[in-house]
Structures are given as structure tokens and as C-alpha cells.
């Protein structure tokens, strides 16, 4: 299986993000932050942005977007920050602490029902 990013030249990734190699310190995205499109792709949009909007018609986690786009997670997060800043996607951040007994109980019920 070919890995995302593996065969891409660094030049291409550099161009995708306008030269940025890391997200801003306030980048809110976690691997499992769910992202939802707030608009449809429009003509002239960067193709990766358009692809993200198509993939996030339903809530989709950052790590799934990275895998589908075949881009490293860090690059995907930069693209997502741009879309978030433009109001084109919204982000559903993981809820509360993982030590929340209510969340853990919901996880247990879900697993038992598998």
C-alpha cells in the first residue's frame, strides 16, 4: 500500500500550504476532531480545499481526511485552519475530559452493542 505523502516531493507540500510547515499555535484540530462542511466547493477554489468540502459533507475526523487526501496530518491541519478561518467548515472538538464517567459509560454501551 502506498503511503500518503511518501512519494510526494516536499516542493508540492510546500506549495499547498503557501510555504507553511506547521500550524499556528492556536490550531484547534486534534486527530479525531470531526469536521463538517458549511458550504459547497466553488469554482476557483484550491483543489485540496474543494476535496475537503466534498469529504466533510458528513462529519469526518481529521485523520480520515489526511488518509483520503494522502497528505500528512500536519499539512491537512493547515488546510483545515484556512477553511475554518474562512467559515467554510466547522469543527466539533472532542467533548470534555476522557475521564468523564458519562462518556465512558456511553463508550461501554456502544462497544457491548457491537
Paired with 37 in beta bridges are: 89
**Residues 46-65 close enough to bind another protein by CB under 8 A:** 58-61, 63-64
Closer of 23 and 49 to another protein (Cβ) = 23
**DSSP code of residue 107:** H
Q: Which helix (H) or strand (E) holds 62?
A: helix 62-69
Closer of 66 and 84 to another protein (Cβ) = 66
Is residue 72 near another protein by the rule CB under 8 A? yes
Q: How far is residue 50's CA from residue 64's CA, in Å, rounded to a whole number?
A: 16
Q: How far is residue 102's CA from residue 33's CA, in Å, rounded to a whole number?
A: 19
Is residue 108 near another protein by the rule CB under 8 A? yes
- Residue choice 18, 19, 44, 111 for contact with another protein (CB under 8 A): 111
Q: In angstroms, what is the minimal distance from the CB of 72 to another protein?
A: 5
E-strand ranges in 18-94 read 34-37, 60-61, 89-92
Phi, psi of 92 (to 5 degrees): -110, 105
Binding residues vs another protein (CB under 8 A)? 1, 3-6, 21-23, 25-27, 30-34, 58-61, 63-64, 66-68, 72-74, 77, 92, 94-95, 98-99, 101, 103-112, 114
Amino acid at each position: 500500500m502506498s503511503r500518503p505523502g511518501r512519494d510526494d516531493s516536499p516542493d508540492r507540500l510546500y506549495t499547498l500550504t503557501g510555504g507553511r510547515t506547521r500550524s499556528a499555535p492556536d490550531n484547534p484540530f486534534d486527530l479525531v476532531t470531526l469536521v463538517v462542511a458549511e458550504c459547497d466547493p466553488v469554482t476557483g477554489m484550491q483543489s485540496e480545499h474543494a476535496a475537503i468540502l466534498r469529504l466533510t459533507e458528513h462529519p469526518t475526523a481529521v485523520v480520515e481526511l489526511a488518509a483520503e487526501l494522502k497528505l500528512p496530518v500536519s499539512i491537512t491541519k493547515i488546510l483545515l485552519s484556512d477553511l475554518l478561518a474562512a467559515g467554510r467548515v466547522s469543527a466539533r472538538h472532542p467533548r470534555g475530559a476522557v475521564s468523564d464517567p458519562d462518556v465512558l459509560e456511553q463508550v461501554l454501551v456502544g462497544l457491548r452493542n457491537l
